[in-house]
Structure 1
Amino acid sequence: MSNKTITDTNYTFPGQTHVYKGKVREVYSLDNDLLVMIATDRLSAFDVVMPKGIPYKGQILNQIATKMMRDTEDLVPNWLAATPDPNVAVGKKCDPFKVEMVIRGYMSGHAAREYKAGKRMLCGVPLPEGMKENDKFPQPIITPATKAEMGDHDEDISKEDILKRGIVSAEDYAVLEDYTRKLFQRGSEIAAERGLILVDTKYEFGKTADGEIVLIDEIHTPDSSRYFYADGYAERQEKGEAQKQLSKEFVRQWLISNGFQGLEGQTLPEMTDAYIETVSERYIELYENITGEPFVKADLSDIDKRIETNVLNYLNA
């Protein structure tokens, strides 16, 4: 099965100056202010990368992000120039802002855990009393996060602290906030058309060489967003039942049920080929639900070569 996934890349493209390897994506910087971003099939949960790749996962995330960038570029400019391969996005090199703009329409995930612990303020935003997990907020709230200096965990931060610490200027932050609300509104409308609810998501922004603020990274994918099925949402809330989710939460739940939450001394459970197959199928289901289109499987016979050929053809053209 290993040759059917791409979990590591080692390319040398013309004019290459730098390679950055993230948890699931690898970014090649070229000397003409272009970035080649490759979505691998690596799967991460609890800040740990699983030992085996998930077939088609990189293609799925890349294609959802590409589609959503195209569907929102009339509202917010983005970094994307082309997708020469199902796993690859090419675009403008940007200087990223050191905050993630997290926006929440519902009391779920991290917000719900904080609320249960008695907190009524999240990132400087007051939370209404009397809410239940997965209730809708009166208005979507922006709860930014910043990368911790040590390690890979994100940390909550308020708008006031961002400005006070000079992480982002007040002028730029106003743009980030405006773009975040516009993208979430459009994302919610797209989700509603597919019978889904966009619960919460995060956006990342950067500045191009000529000072334009643009959307970067991924957008509205199941790795960066949480979706609920709209059908039955109200009934489940009424009865206090768990919502039917469309995100990689199912992987986290499987790990928890097998005694793993990324804590010291815990051992990763074995991912059998049969289990990996089911994860791949769930990702395909996510793709089809989120985009409303059938998933077309790319050729997996030699992904490494396929990517290299497609990127070189694009760059040489």
Structure 2
Amino acid sequence: MPLHPEIAKVLASLPAPPPGPLDPVAMRAGEEAIVPPPEERLPLPSVEDVTAQTLVGDVTVRVYTPTDSTAYGVLVYFHGGAFFLGSLDTHDHVARSLAKETGLKVVSVDYRRAPEAAFPAGLDDCYGVVRWVAEHGQSLGWDGETLAIAGDSSGGTFAAAVAALAHDDGFDRITHQVLYYPSLDLDFDEDRYASLRENAIGHGLETAALKPFNAFYLESGADPADPRVSPIKRANLTGLPKALVVTGEFDPLRDEGELYAARLRDAGVDARVSRYAGAGHGFVQHFSWIPEYHHVFEETAAFLGRR
């Protein structure tokens, strides 16, 4: 099918980006300016910001409690934004929907971003919070069973990398990984994946924008050849948590996500792909108000065994 008409309408209404190099401060301010006020957000019994004391320092997290209960499975969520954009607030609606649909307590991570923080600061924060959840589960009401991780775009990069770091450390508490249109190969050679050419222009994220948008992260010391940066380059995927990889039909990153899922399956990991027709990159963050794309939260719940 073609690009969803509602997405096409929104994209057609956007102004052309300003000329010159990307300005992280201005771009962040632009994102934050369109975040709805708290009273207009999906209500939940409790949403609170707390400090996770991790081995790499204090990390602010936002904890979403979906119901009044005494015990919960936990989902740790890493927002996207090309490693320099995104925040607890810009992705607050995603975390709220995840909590409501899955019934899990969601812990959203305010990790350090490039260019202010050099690699691997953000990744260390994400992994540190996952370990903090397991070590302080009683205070969160964790049931000791489900401990899932999820992320969109660059947050999906972090989720895949955290799963691998945990495995290598012998930390086996992560039960699921959910990767929404993840960026898994930061070598942006257009010949690497057909989708980089097929979906190069006209669908939101464009292939030519991948290098400049990720430059802040790569210039901070992130090497695309490092599996912590490009998880698809990890040689052995055996033993990683079961995975749901969500892709968009018109996303330049579509094929690397689907290849990663295939490699997981080849390594004996329960991994499934769900490709959303008519969708481009970022549809979970930007277009989950469209009913067929809001379904991604219900699908996530089913994958996590909560529906």
TM-score by length of 2: 0.29
Question: Of the two, which has the highest radius of gyration?
Answer: 1
> Higher strand share goes to which structure?
1
